[in-house]
């Protein structure tokens, strides 16, 4: 089995992909990386925090790097 290389790491700012994404869940920060146990990169999961309270988990294919990450 080959090693899985996550696309994002903890602390990366990301944007959700999709037309039905609510504004309050558009941009967030990766708080946890959950590698796919079968080694399939596209099925890595990421826990993302939005604002102060909202945390959700997404597949790698549902996220992209933030265009203008805030520093």
Binned average pLDDT, 10 residues per bin, the chain of 71 residues? 70 92 91 88 90 92 84 47
Does the global pTM surpass 0.75? yes
Tokens of 27: 């941009």
pLDDT computed for residue 69 by the predictor: 65
Neighbouring C-alpha atoms within 13 Å toward the C-beta of 47? 8
pLDDT computed for residue 6 by the predictor: 66
pLDDT computed for residue 5 by the predictor: 59
pLDDT computed for residue 33 by the predictor: 94
Report the alpha-carbon distance of residue 23 to residue 20 in Å, rounded: 9
């Amino acid at each position: 089995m080959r090693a899985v290389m996550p696309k994002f790491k903890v602390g990366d700012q990301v944007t959700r992909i999709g037309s039905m994404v609510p504004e309050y869940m558009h941009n967030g920060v990766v708080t946890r990386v959950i590698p796919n146990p079968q080694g399939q990169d596209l099925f890595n999961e990421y826990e993302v925090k939005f604002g102060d309270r909202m945390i959700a988990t997404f597949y790698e294919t549902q996220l992209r790097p933030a265009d203008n990450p805030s520093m």
